[in-house]
Every structure is written in C-alpha cells, then in structure tokens.
Chain A
Amino acid sequence: MESDSELIRKCKEGDPKSQALLYQKYAPMLMAICLRYARNEEDAEDILHDSFVKILTNIDKMDEDKPYVSWMKTIVVNTAINAYRNKVRTGVAVDIEDVEEQLGDVRIRTSDFLTRDILMKFISELPDGYRTVFNLFEIDGYSHLEISEMTGSSYSTVRSQLFKAKQSLKKKIEKYLAEIIEK
C-alpha cells in the first residue's frame, strides 16, 4: 500500500504522529498474537508494549521493500517467547516413553459451542511450554526445526510438547462440551 510506505518512511525518521498511526493500524492484529502467547491480558499488553518499542526503534534498519508485516509479527513472536523463556525449558530429564510415543493427529468433534473466546481461554490455560509450541506450530506455521531453534528445546521435545498440548486441549474441550450438553 502506498500510504504504508510513506508511513514507514516517517516512522524511520522518528515522527511521533506516524508512529501513532502505525500503532493504530497494526496493534489489534499484533495484540491478538500477544494474547495467544500470553498467560493473561496483562502479560499480553506487556509483550505488545515491548514489541512495539522494538519495532519503532528498529524500523530504520528494516528494508522498506521487505514485508514489514511479517517482520513485525516475528518481533512480537520472539518477544513473547522470551517472556516465558525460562519456563519453556523446564525439565532436565525427559521420560524415555516420550521419545517413543506415537505423535500423530489429535482429532475431536467440531461443535458450534466452540467459540473463539472459549478456545482462547483453553490456550491461555496451557502450561507455558505447551502453549508456546502449539502457537508456533499450529497457528503461526513454524516448522518443528524452527521452533526447536527459537525455543532452545530439542526437536523431539518440541514434537512431544506439541502432542501434549493438543491432548490437553482436547481434554478441556471434551469436558466443556460434556458439561454444556448436560445443561
């Protein structure tokens, strides 16, 4: 978009008005990403705050021709991962069974009761490590190898955490649906 190039050019020069406009335009999209990775709204806002400062103070390094939206998203994702960095890498020894288990699809019945708000709630209830990996792979489309590098966990741990995240979500969903139907 032509208007965006101009906006970015002005942001590179440190123009506060343009910075505010950039925020206005992209904060909602980036906030949604923060909410997915954070434990709660407060954390999400902290992550968005840090991300935007990074974006606005590094935008002068970014090439205008390159896709700046994905650049901004990358910064947000990295900031979010760093927020829970220590938590992601918990566990010294991993059970041998984890390595050998079948890591396949996790399927559930679809339902109109599964609103976005409910699904977001379940995501935020996951342990930090599971939530991060689930988001990176399933929603943001990073590969296992990329996730392994970004989080510092081994490739097999990533696969294992992903599977456990999905199983945990499945349990939550099934329990929730069962409770609704009872009513």
Chain B
Amino acid sequence: MDKEKEIGEIFRESLEGYQAEPSAELWGAIAQDKTLVRFNRRHKMVRIAKFAVVPVIATVAIVTALLLSNGKGDNTLAVASDTDTVVPTATTITTTTTVTAPATETAAPIVNTPQPVRNQTSIYPTQTTDNQKEKIESSTVPATVTKPVETAEPLMASEFAPTRNTTLPEIEEVHRSLPVPNRNNNHKKELDRSDAVVADQLPTSSDIQVEPKAGRSGQLTFSKDTSVCRNSNLTLYVYNALDVHWNIGVQGETVTICPDEPTLISATVTTYEKIDTTIYIHVGVFNCGLWIPTAFTPNGDGLNDEFLVQAPAEITRYECTIYDRSRGMLFRTTNIHQGWDGTFNGKPLPFGTYSYIITYFDEAGVKHVEKGQITLIR
C-alpha cells in the first residue's frame, strides 16, 4: 500500500482494457449521418451495377442491333421506349462500374482518382477559422482538384444520364463533410527554436496586442514580456506616467521596435507622484520561416495525408512546385493552403522521394527560395 509508482504507470494500469458504452441513440445518429448515407448509396449503386452488368450488356447489344436493323419502325420505338429507362442508367452505371470496380481489389490507380479529390476538397471548406483564406481556397480547389474528376465526366455526361449529373456534386459535398486532415500533423522540417524564448505558438499578426500589466508603481501600466516574429514590428507602451525615456533613445508613451534577436527593453519612467523608476520588458523572437514537412502518408487516416506547407507569418507570392527526375513536374500551386496528395495525373505515386522548390516573398519583400526533398510513404 505504501508503494510508490510513476503517475503515468498508475493511470495506464487502471485504464487498461477500459471500455465504455456510448448512449443507445448514438448509432442511430451515426447511421443517419449525411456523409455516411451518401457513401452507402454510392456503393449500393456499384453493387447493383455489378449484378446488372451482364444483362445490361446483353440489353445494349440487342437494342443496338435492333436500332441498326429496323430504322424507324414501330418496333424500334417500342423497344427504344422500353430500353430508354434501362439503358441510360445502365450505361452510366456500367461506366461507374468500370471506374470503381477495382476498389474491392484494392489495385486501383483509377479508383484513387476520387481520393485526391476527397483529401483536397475536404480541407478547405472546413477551414472556417480564417475567413480570408476560405475565398482563396474555394477558388483554387477547382483548378487542380477537378482534373481527375473531369476525366470521368465525359463518360457520365452521356445523353442518357440525367440522373447521373448529381454524382459529381454529391462527391464534392461528401468530401466537404469529411473531417479535416490536420494540417499541423506534417513532419516539420525545422522545429521552432529560439535562443531566448520557446516559440510554440507563432503570432498571427506582426503587431502584437499586449495586455496592460499593472506595474509596481501605482497606476502605471506597461507592456508585458512578449515575443514576435523576427524582424517584424512590435509596439511597446508605458501609460499613466509623467515621462518615459526608453533605453533605445526614444521618449514617449509608446515605442515601436523591430527585433532581430531577443532583447531586454527598459524605460526610465517618472510617475505622477514624481518618483523615478525603471521598468523592463523582455522581447523574444520567433523564427517565422515556413514549416515544410519532410514526409507524408496519404492513406486516409487523417494524419499527414498531404504534403502541406505552413506559413505562420504573412507571406506573398507563394509558389510550390513538386517534381521528380523521371516524370518532371508533378504538382504546382500558388496557394499555400493547397497541399499535394501524392498523385500525378490522378494516379497515386509510389513510395519514394520527390523534390520540391518553394519560393515566396516575406513581409519585408525579401524573396526566399527553399529546395528540398519530400518522402511519400505508403
């Protein structure tokens, strides 16, 4: 009873094999989920199609033969009207079949065509935290993502298939409600290390809003210790004082600095009570470079499914090109929020190393070029 254990071990032992029953209604709610319903509907069509293939092919053959031999006879019309309802759906289902049948064999270059669509389209609409980025995302998604989908369109847009046109929007909608692969899951090329400050959270704007902190001298308020991206602007302040002299040779309530390295800013302050005092503000710096992953695993588990670059600071004119020696350029985008799903012309590429070149301009207007390799792991 007096034995001591590491706290983690205590929890592990206690929670081993822990199972808990969710509420009885939960499965009902899951079964009615739109995404799941659509998935099932789509696959049901495939199953029906597979069973229907033989009789359908036979029917098509018969109809074609009749049409060719009979011309405009009544028979033709009768036959045609009979088969009109069958053939259209059959044609398109057959098409669907050829496209999706490989799925069960998991051989699938063609089948994987929808996959990149899913992976890519699913991210953008759900990144609703940043309203500005949403617009960019939705406008660029069609640019590359719909390519694989478009190869299917000619087949599906046959004159017989009024109902099939709902398939494509369906797929897009389904993918929208798929969970967001976490963009932060990518292996980072450089871990953020700053000498003075541990920088785990990079600021989203270069001008930091700092909260007033009550100094020791009565009503005096001044900036808290803070950190910013290297070489970006930061405004510090001292309020409710008669006079403020900053150690960098500026006088006044506020001062704006652009730190290149961690610094200790101080100010000699004369309070309203005519007392002289010194306040100190420690300013740290983050390295706000791009986070470029070194590897990714496009297997649909929501973890590192894409090669996605992150830019914590405001950068402009971003361009990312991925290529390899044998195939040339595989992917290109000018949208930092658009990742690469590991496919080329709709086909998934094999395990291996691919190269990238990324160029961008930082806040100061300085051009940066990053070159490196990314490993696609399957």
Number of interface residues, chain A, beta carbon within 8 A: 84
**Is B185 a contact partner of A149 (Cβ separation < 8 A)?**
yes
Nearest CB on A from B110, distance (A): 14
Contact count band on B: 35 or more
Give chain B residues whose Cβ lies under 8 Å from the Cβ of A115: 14
Chain A proximity mask over B1-44: 1 for CB below 8 Å, otherwise 0? 11111111011101100111111001101110101100111111
Q: At the interface, yes or no: B46 with Cβ under 8 Å from chain A?
A: yes
Give chain B residues whose Cβ lies under 8 Å from the Cβ of A151: 184
* A71: nearest chain-B partner, CB-CB: B301
Among candidates B1, B184, B193, B301, residue contacting A110 with C-beta atoms closer than 8 Å = B1
Among candidates A35, A78, A137, residue contacting B20 with C-beta atoms closer than 8 Å = A35
Give chain B residues whose Cβ lies under 8 Å from the Cβ of A45: 22-23, 26
**Is A49 a contact partner of B30 (Cβ separation < 8 A)?**
yes
**Is A23 a contact partner of B44 (Cβ separation < 8 A)?**
no
Among candidates A35, A57, A91, residue contacting B35 with C-beta atoms closer than 8 Å = A57
Q: How far is the CA of A150 from the CA of B303 in the complex (A)?
A: 8
**Is B200 a contact partner of A32 (Cβ separation < 8 A)?**
no
**Is B29 a contact partner of A93 (Cβ separation < 8 A)?**
no
Give chain A residues whose Cβ lies under 8 Å from the Cβ of B26: 27, 45, 48-49
Contacts known (A53-B33, A96-B197, A111-B1); A82 close to B39, Cβ less than 8 A: no
Give chain B residues whose Cβ lies under 8 Å from the Cβ of A116: 14-15, 18
Stretch at the interface among B73-81, B84-92, B174-182, B243-251: B174-182
**Is A154 a contact partner of B19 (Cβ separation < 8 A)?**
no
Q: At the interface, yes or no: A75 with Cβ under 8 Å from chain B?
A: yes
* A115: nearest chain-B partner, CB-CB: B14
**Is B27 a contact partner of A20 (Cβ separation < 8 A)?**
yes
Known contacts A27-B27, A75-B301, A138-B12, then 10 further A-B pairs from the complex at CB < 8 Å, ordered by chain A residue: A12-B104, A14-B42, A56-B36, A57-B178, A61-B115, A62-B299, A74-B301, A93-B225, A116-B14, A116-B15
Query: What would 19 A/B residue contacts be, using CB atoms closer than 8 Å?
Result: A12-B104, A13-B47, A16-B40, A23-B30, A32-B15, A44-B22, A50-B179, A52-B30, A60-B103, A79-B302, A93-B224, A110-B1, A114-B10, A119-B15, A139-B12, A139-B15, A148-B191, A154-B191, A154-B198
Q: Report A's interface with B, CB cutoff 8 A.
A: 9, 12-16, 19-20, 23-24, 27-29, 31-32, 35-36, 44-45, 48-50, 52-54, 56-58, 60-64, 71, 74-75, 78-79, 81-82, 85-86, 89-94, 96, 98-99, 105-112, 114-116, 119-120, 123, 134, 137-139, 148-157, 160, 166, 169-170, 173
Top 4 nearest A-B pairs (CB, nearest first) are: A14-B43, A152-B184, A138-B8, A28-B19
